[in-house]
Structure 1
Amino acid sequence: MADDLARTFDVDLFVIGGGSGGVRAARIAAGYGARVQLAEEYRVGGTCVIRGCVPKKLMVYAGRFADEFADAAGFGWSVPTPTFDWRVMKARRDAEVARLEAIYDANLGKAGVTILPERAVIEDAHTVRLVGSGRRVSARFILVAVGAHPVKEPLIPGAELAITSNEVFDLESLPERILVVGGGYIAVEFAGVLAHLGARTTLLHRGDKLLRGFDEEIRDALDTAYAERMDLRLNRTVERLDSSGSGIRVTLDDDTTLEVDQVLTATGRRPNTAGLGLEAVGIEADARGAIPVDAFSQTRVPSIYAVGDVTDRAALTPIAIREGHAFADTVFGGKPWCVDHGLIATAVFSTPEIGVIGHNEDVARRLFGAVDVYRSSFRPMKATLSGREERVLMKVVVDRASDRVVGVHVLGHDAGEIIQAVGIAVTMGATKADFDRTIAVHPTAGEELVTMRSPVVTKHPVGVG
């Protein structure tokens, strides 16, 4: 390390990847006076801005207007029969993505970061090579922030006929019939969007419930809601895909077939480490292709760090941003800190929406033994006039010994917004007594979280809880 300090480098920091984590790290490091270059071979903004969180959420909004139009009659509005134009939505969505990308570019430029629009690979602990130009850049530190990509099931015959969550944004028209394969949040969100926009949607998942790892009651409620909205097929897998005159013929493991216009696979993502040059410096990716790092995002090579989805710690944009910020503060700002991955608030933008922080009931019982569970299920106020059959579900899981709230689970309208506010309290270590002494905002759905007084009796293994 002493030799590194005496050596002269072209830059202080070279960032490979222009997604959320890389951009934040580059900007903060430059703010500390570091000379920073960032290489991005596609578009600055990464998965979230270009083909993930932002365009997907805009599509979620588009789909929810279908319910708003239908509900309006119950409140006295006469709404002409609405029609949806995919091309208009796509053009507006793509324009917004381009606007945000330009802002990312501008902010990096204002911070003094040099953007290099080409692929970069690692040659040694302090050198990267730009693949397009062949130019080499020496750096005191290298940060890998290349993200991850969606994968298809390669062993399924005809898998090339399917698209992933990347290509769905390029569709020029809304498919009349679509099969979505997967049970995670990406599959759930896109199935909900497409169904609401008017596509005849089939959601197929090999498991017995959607959203593995979420609270069981939340999973059950989502399954019920989705079964009413679309053709939900659980405990099923795809055997093969074949081109047919009318689109794609899908053969399932029970020998039944589906005829659809498009198949969207959302069964997993893998870190973008192939061909990155990790082997040149002795960094060995794990079985999923992720780069092993310590709590401070440092690899086994002291000068090389990695943040975001490429580390496969928690594949969420806010996590990548905080990891990038922590890296810059630690390495260039003299303010070392690391991200706590143990308590993360998150949302699934399904319809109904889901917001979660902390442990589900089953995990909480394993970790804490005795827990109290507070539960409320109710028809939202809006549905009383709209006539829509929908339910809101809220659960608060409490460690009985300390009275600390260790999990909050919400399914219903604006669950993501609710869980963001609740997440502050839970992160601070709020107790159930703290919730109870908080005055309710009436009439809201969120007030249920501070008015539940009696824990429910649930069945659980003998000797636990």
Structure 2
Amino acid sequence: MSPRIVIVGGGPGGYEAALVAVKQGAEVTLIERQGLGGNAVLTDVVPSKTVIATAEWRTIADRAPQLGIRDRDGSDTSERSEHSVDLKAVNDRVRKLVLKQSYDIATRMAKNDIRVVQGEGRLVSPTRVETDDDAFEADAILLALGARPRILPDAQPDGERILTWTQLYDLKELPEHLIVVGSGVTGAEFAGAYNLLGSHVTLIASGERVLSTQDPEASDLITEIFHERGMDVVGGRAQAAVNTGDGVRVTLSDGRVIEGSHCLMAVGSVPNTAGVGLEEAGVTLDERGYVMVDKVSRTSARGVYAAGDCTGVFPLASVAATQGRIAMAHALGDAVTPIDLRQVASNVFTAPEIASVGASEAELKERGIFYEVSKLDLARNPRAKMLGIDQGFVKIFGHTVTGQVLGAVIVGSRAGEHIFPLTLALAHHLTVDQIASAFTVYPSLSGTVSEVARRLHHMGDVAKKI
């Protein structure tokens, strides 16, 4: 008899796990309440990055004059007054792409004979999941429950003026003045995108700096660019947001009041772990409500695994998918390599992007590791000059003794694409010399990665003199 796998949640952690399990000969049932793809496809990654991709076009238009591009009458094509954004059309496109991506996932499930059940799954025991209409016995269960936007008590979203990031795609017109509360990844990405689309944006940063978890030089550069584009960055913590009828009023904890047309609340997320029978079935949650898992995605209940945002590990689709694949490999007796979070590459989709992998400089200092830093601005890169790109940099941290790549940061256009060779270096313990000795296309933006590595050929004082 084939092993029975029940997966609760159809996001990356769930559907990737389902594909692994069915290839191992399991009988797979996937329960999803909204639609296949989960938050990553339906309300988060795919829609947000589609809007951001549209906004990024404005940065390309800004570079048109230096590339010799003019309107037919000879006027400057970079004048933003010459371009307007139809937000309804943008959001209509978003919804079409979301439906197409979700449909493609559903098609893959059907082709692989994975049973998809619409409904909300509840864990009755470590071997049984129920919905309102049915019950499923399982040899192993995977929880891929996801998360939802965190709501402040005095800033309740109404879908009209006060919004979460899941509600932005219902807007028909561009906000005249968008107040973004929260300067983490989500807040910074949307603040940057709507600023480029044409809204006046005020970004409220509660931390020490915008994108406070990112490399300080990267954070400083993005903040400087935000200011250059006319964004207001305000330090403080939002206490309340009120819909005034024709706008919003946001009150900070120190009493300051900021008024705008709309407010986006981007103050983190909470896991969807309440009311689905987890604790009753023996699944341990931490103090924040996240499912506690080990490096092969096991929970405290035998035969029950968890993946994705509900675990609080890293809120990244790539991590969720990896957790789900590892869980199924372990449950079905396949070879398993525990997840190594030091190898996770992440990307902030601002313009320019911030991509990073491995240890940060702060972490290296805290751990007392001997390292050297090599950094070059992209403005020196010939391909960047051709494209009119004059912002961004590549930075690599190399071990002083072994030469192994310890971490890296890339700030620039399509940084998320260019971080991959450095992710490979981390995963396979490559040295800076091995990176430098590999051929790159000339001219290419990735050529700077090789050059930065080459500057670390001799660690210590020699590297600093080159």
How high is the TM-score relative to the length of structure 2? 0.89
Distance 1:313 1:387 in 2: 38
Contact 1:179/1:264 (<8 A) preserved = yes
Tell me the alpha carbon deviations over residues 21-40 of structure 1, each in whole angstroms, 9 at most, x when there is no partner.
Answer: 11111122122221111111
In structure 2, relative to structure 1, the CA distance for the partners of 1:164 and 1:362 (3 Å cut) is: same
* Offset, 1:102: 0.9
In structure 2, relative to structure 1, the CA distance for the partners of 1:449 and 1:31 (3 Å cut) is: closer
RMSD: 2.2
Q: Secondary structure at the match of 1:342?
A: helix
Where do residues 145-156 of structure 1 align in structure 2 (5 Å cutoff)?
145-154=144-153, 156=154
Q: Residue 36 of structure 1 aligns with which residue?
A: 28
Counterpart residue identity of residue 437, structure 1? S
Q: Secondary structure at the match of 2:196?
A: helix
Where do residues 258-337 of structure 1 align in structure 2 (5 Å cutoff)?
258-332=258-332, 334-337=334-337
Counterpart residue identity of residue 226, structure 1? F
Counterpart residue identity of residue 262, structure 1? H
Distance 2:446 2:23 in 1: 40
User: Which stretch of the first structure deviates more once superposed, 38-47 or 337-346?
Assistant: 337-346
Match of 1:70 among 62, 68, 71: 62
Contact 2:185/2:211 (<8 A) preserved = yes
Distance 2:40 2:162 in 1: 22
Q: Secondary structure at the match of 1:369?
A: coil
Distance 2:233 2:67 in 1: 35
The count of aligned residue pairs is: 443
Counterpart residue identity of residue 100, structure 1? Q
Tell me the alpha carbon deviations over residues 306-338 of structure 1, each in whole angstroms, 9 at most, x when there is no partner.
Answer: 111111112111111111112222222533332
Counterpart residue identity of residue 153, structure 1? L
Give identity over the alignment, percent.
27
Where do residues 19-418 of structure 1 align in structure 2 (5 Å cutoff)?
19-79=11-71, 81-131=82-132, 133=133, 135-154=134-153, 156=154, 162-332=162-332, 334-379=334-379, 390-418=390-418
Distance 2:448 2:336 in 1: 39
Q: Secondary structure at the match of 1:61?
A: helix
* Offset, 1:382: 7.1
* Offset, 1:448: 2.1
Q: Secondary structure at the match of 1:334?
A: coil
How high is the TM-score relative to the length of structure 1? 0.89
The unaligned stretches of length 5 or more in structure 1 are: 1-7, 456-465
Contact 2:284/2:299 (<8 A) preserved = no
Contact 2:372/2:398 (<8 A) preserved = yes
Counterpart residue identity of residue 85, structure 1? D
Contact 1:329/1:337 (<8 A) preserved = no
User: Which stretch of the first structure deviates more once superposed, 421-430 or 408-417?
Assistant: 421-430
Distance 1:30 1:157 in 2: 44
Q: Which runs of 4+ in 1 moved over 4 A?
A: 157-161, 380-388
Contact 1:29/1:333 (<8 A) preserved = no
Counterpart residue identity of residue 294, structure 1? D
Q: Secondary structure at the match of 2:64?
A: helix
In structure 2, relative to structure 1, the CA distance for the partners of 1:381 and 1:262 (3 Å cut) is: farther
The unaligned stretches of length 5 or more in structure 2 are: 72-76, 457-466
Distance 1:247 1:139 in 2: 51
Q: Secondary structure at the match of 1:106?
A: helix
Contact 2:67/2:388 (<8 A) preserved = no
Q: Secondary structure at the match of 1:13?
A: strand
In structure 2, relative to structure 1, the CA distance for the partners of 1:411 and 1:144 (3 Å cut) is: same
